[in-house]
């Protein structure tokens, strides 16, 4: 939750700084769009353009980070006879066992382990909403399903995935990002 609050604060900071960077006016009663129009008519200086571009990047990237955090917080995994079921905030995916290629550790040096199930197919095509599908792909990638560190009984889940998918339990985890 602290990360979500931090992301929200960064977004508000970026919006406020963008306003200050490109829509300044000597008259405080002037509205934002009027001040922006006056500044654009006069021409923006390099000292206004560079911070404005940086703030636009933050305004776009911060909601993507927030979505990734929310998707991780809501992640639930359920092994079924058909495949691995993943649900999180309006997303419901079933990854068939025949599609599971392997499980790899993404970062061996991290305090909290993060593994990902690599898949032959992209399960995100099951998501009907194109915006949610795109956001999920940005958070997880295509053909991958992360198994987050905060998942309850994580090691048991990984063993069960290996068993159902016919992966060797003694198989070393593939490293890499």
**Confidence grade of residue 164 (pLDDT, cut at 50, 70, 90):** very high
Measuring CA to CA, how many Å separate 149 from each of 51, 76, 94, 115, 121? 36, 12, 20, 8, 24
Angle subtended by helix axes 2-22 and 32-42, to nearest 10:
50
pLDDT tens digits for 4-19?
Answer: 788 888 888 887 777 7
pLDDT digits (tens, 9 = 90+) for 21-79: 776 655 556 666 776 777 777 777 777 778 878 888 888 888 888 888 888 888 999 99
Give CA–CA dist 151/130, Å, rounded. Answer: 27
Distance CA 120, CA 100 (A): 6
Q: Can you tell me which residue has the tokens 């305004």? A: 59
Q: What is the mean pLDDT of the chain?
A: 82
The model carries a pTM of: 0.72
**Going along the chain, which residue ranges are E strands?**
76-79, 83-88, 91-96, 100-105, 115-119, 144-147, 174-175
Is the pLDDT at 132 greater than 50, yes or no?
A: yes
């Amino acid at each position: 939750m602290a990360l979500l609050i931090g992301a929200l604060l960064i977004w508000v900071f970026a919006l406020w700084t963008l306003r200050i960077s490109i829509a300044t006016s000597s008259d405080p009663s002037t509205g934002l769009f009027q001040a922006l129009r006056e500044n654009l008519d006069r021409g923006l200086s390099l000292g206004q353009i560079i911070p404005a571009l940086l703030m636009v990047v933050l305004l776009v990237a911060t909601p993507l980070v927030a979505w990734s955090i929310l998707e991780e917080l809501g992640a639930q995994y359920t092994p079924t006879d058909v495949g691995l079921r993943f649900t999180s905030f309006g997303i419901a995916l079933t990854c068939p066992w025949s599609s599971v290629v392997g499980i790899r550790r993404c970062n061996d040096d991290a305090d909290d382990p993060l593994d990902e199930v690599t898949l032959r197919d992209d399960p995100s095509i099951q998501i009907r909403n194109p915006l949610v599908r795109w956001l999920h792909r940005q958070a997880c990638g295509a053909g991958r399903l992360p198994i987050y560190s905060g998942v309850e009984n994580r090691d048991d889940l990984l063993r069960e995935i290996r068993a159902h998918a016919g992966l060797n339990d003694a198989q070393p985890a593939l490293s890499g990002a």
